[in-house]
A and B are shown apart, each in its own frame.
Chain A
């Protein structure tokens, strides 16, 4: 009898334990992925139907609201610069010597034919500020043990109503992420233990919109960071877009002039 009671108590208590853990996990993920400042040289490999394009860029970012990117290669894109301040995005094109501001629907357009939208690039709030998390299971990805976390929006103004992330149990780095739309309320999720979770928990989970797979995790400046990311717009055909971090520096001071409109034409 005592044995049965213990099992029953464990079954009741375990979800709250998972919930408590989940908050700690995403905090650690945020700590790993988000820094005060970031200077990064990266390559974006855009997989087309016939061939692939590689776009190299150097990006500077400070906090949530400031970022500046300059495209270095190929020649066609070289010199294009993007500046994000708060919710505004400006793009400078050297061929026309003009700066245009993107807003509204244009922000949802893809960046240089990739699976990333300008809006995706602008979205950099901390997960813990936007979502309530719950551990729903454990999986092994590329020999790494991961927690599967279900994230449901706790604020209204989020782009994706729910997310599912697979977090490396040792390094606290996401190895896979799925972003979902609101609708399709009949969907049920497989969960820890194999049985479906309660409908109300995932009532808002809907159409899978985007999927990101992170790999080549490296320890940089004392933190684990994925250096290869594959973004895939799940509604579109194709192999998605690879984002390869060639060089990254965290928490280095960035001169203020970088985040000014004047720097676009420099």
Chain B
């Protein structure tokens, strides 16, 4: 085997530019696979962390009648959870309302949250320290849509528990920046005590956010959704993106492997005398097959080295500076930062390496199999077989 590798190396180096062209194409596929998957993994990691910090906490305990994907469930999807079951939980009450920024009409969700909470990153301390009658906070997207700044007052109309309209001005005491549109778009956050007061829904909650100490026990009328379940949509999007990205890099990899395959076919055709000589010198046919397979497989090693030469600085650069995208996830309601920072795990790098080496070795072996059927005498004569 050592001889096979040695000879393979000599042959490849002797082939010069042809070798480096093959290795170059393969290295591009190699680097691209790592880059693309790293980017998606980076998005996944960032989006998961942001979602947990801003929206999901350690899971959510939801009122049985509330369905986050169905706004019709908001009016009736709330209830009172016994105090004894509220340990390590932060209550949130959601009510529908209408705001009138600059005389325009907009439907919003009023979300009441415990202003002392620390389970979510929402700056609820601003609600606590404000002296305004009804202080609210909102995200930057909402602030941009309504053209609102900190200190502005806004007219809000809502309905109380009996369905009677009520309206008053609220004061914006904070605008926060988040990558999670689900806590930003079309929402005003206020103290839950205040929301209870203005809607006559004291102690009612639509959901509770669990902290890391929460241990769920079955509570009738309420259902618990853990982090993995809450992140399922994100996971599905990520997996879908990975699958669609795979089409592109499989195409690139195929191009690289096709080049190796062609080179191997040509080598075996042109180097028949060499093959005959190896056999005449005492090598078995399968030893020659192994040598040619090693030669093809070595392209992938060269591709790895070449890819590492330009890929490592390039990928490291992107990992550090991130990549900015013109689009954001706002319009799709998905968590997506303005800049994405790729994450390259060892599993990804070695997995890709293994994929490239294995696939290159397999496509090298396929044409090399022909050697095992060659007549050595004919091969020595250089006759076409």
Task: Please determine whether A181 and B167 come into contact, CB atoms closer than 8 angstroms.
Answer: yes
- 16 residue pairs A–B, Cβ–Cβ below 8 Å: A104-B72, A104-B96, A105-B71, A105-B96, A106-B72, A108-B107, A158-B163, A161-B166, A181-B157, A183-B166, A183-B167, A207-B168, A209-B165, A235-B100, A235-B157, A236-B104
Query: Is A160 interfacial (CB 8 A cutoff)?
Result: yes
Query: Is B103 interfacial (CB 8 A cutoff)?
Result: yes
B155 contact set on A, CB distance < 8 A: 207, 235
A153 in contact with B104 given A104-B71, A104-B72, A209-B157 (CB within 8 Å): no
Interface of B, helix, strand, loop or mixed by DSSP: mixed
Chain B residues numbered 59-101 whose CB sits less than 8 Å from any CB in chain A: 71-72, 74-75, 96, 98, 100
B71 contact set on A, CB distance < 8 A: 104-106
B105 contact set on A, CB distance < 8 A: 110, 233, 235-236
Task: Please determine whether B103 and A236 come into contact, CB atoms closer than 8 angstroms.
Answer: yes
Task: Determine the distance from Cα of A44 to Cα of B284 in the docked complex, in whole angstroms.
Answer: 95
Task: Please determine whether B157 and A160 come into contact, CB atoms closer than 8 angstroms.
Answer: no
**Residue among A105, A159, A184, A238 making CB contact with B165, cutoff 8 Å:** A159
A105 in contact with B107 given A182-B164, A209-B157 (CB within 8 Å): yes
**Residue among B74, B102, B162, B168 making CB contact with A156, cutoff 8 Å:** B162
Q: Which residue of B lies closest to A179 (CB)?
A: B165
Task: Determine the distance from Cα of A158 to Cα of B163 in the docked complex, in whole angstroms.
Answer: 7
Given A105-B96, A209-B157, 15 further pairs, Cβ under 8 A: A105-B72, A105-B74, A108-B96, A108-B98, A153-B164, A156-B162, A161-B164, A181-B157, A181-B165, A181-B167, A182-B165, A183-B167, A184-B168, A207-B157, A233-B105
Chain B residues numbered 101-159 whose CB sits less than 8 Å from any CB in chain A: 102-105, 107, 155, 157, 159
Interface residues on B, range: 20 to 34
Interface of A, helix, strand, loop or mixed by DSSP: loop
A206 in contact with B168 given A109-B107, A181-B157, A233-B105 (CB within 8 Å): yes
Q: Which residue of A lies closest to B105 (CB)?
A: A236
Interface residues on A, range: 20 to 34
Task: Please determine whether A206 and B164 come into contact, CB atoms closer than 8 angstroms.
Answer: no
Q: Which residue of B lies closest to A233 (CB)?
A: B105
Give the tally of cross-chain contacts (CB within 8 A): 79
Query: Is A221 interfacial (CB 8 A cutoff)?
Result: no
Task: Please determine whether B100 and A161 come into contact, CB atoms closer than 8 angstroms.
Answer: no
Task: Determine the distance from Cα of A184 to Cα of B72 in the docked complex, in whole angstroms.
Answer: 29
A156 contact set on B, CB distance < 8 A: 162, 164
Task: Please determine whether B107 and A158 come into contact, CB atoms closer than 8 angstroms.
Answer: no
Task: Determine the distance from Cα of A24 to Cα of B281 in the docked complex, in whole angstroms.
Answer: 123
Residues on B facing A (Cβ under 8 Å): 71-72, 74-75, 96, 98, 100, 102-105, 107, 155, 157, 159-160, 162-168, 198
Task: Determine the distance from Cα of A156 to Cα of B102 in the docked complex, in whole angstroms.
Answer: 31
Task: Please determine whether B165 and A160 come into contact, CB atoms closer than 8 angstroms.
Answer: yes
Task: Determine the distance from Cα of A181 to Cα of B102 in the docked complex, in whole angstroms.
Answer: 20
Task: Determine the distance from Cα of A158 to Cα of B107 in the docked complex, in whole angstroms.
Answer: 21
Query: Is A103 interfacial (CB 8 A cutoff)?
Result: yes
Closest 6 CB pairs of A and B: A237-B103, A181-B167, A156-B162, A207-B167, A105-B96, A182-B166
Query: Is A170 interfacial (CB 8 A cutoff)?
Result: no
A75 contact set on B, CB distance < 8 A: none
A206 in contact with B166 given A104-B72, A104-B75 (CB within 8 Å): yes
Task: Please determine whether B75 and A182 come into contact, CB atoms closer than 8 angstroms.
Answer: no
Contact flags (1/0) for A175-212 with B, using CB distance below 8 Å?
00001011110000000000000000000001101000
A236 in contact with B168 given A108-B107, A110-B105, A157-B163 (CB within 8 Å): no
Task: Please determine whether B107 and A235 come into contact, CB atoms closer than 8 angstroms.
Answer: no
Q: How far is the CB of B209 from chain A (nearest CB, A)?
A: 23
B103 contact set on A, CB distance < 8 A: 235-238
Task: Please determine whether B168 and A183 come into contact, CB atoms closer than 8 angstroms.
Answer: yes
A209 contact set on B, CB distance < 8 A: 157, 165, 167
A160 in contact with B164 given A236-B104, A236-B105 (CB within 8 Å): yes
A161 in contact with B96 given A110-B105, A235-B105, A237-B103 (CB within 8 Å): no
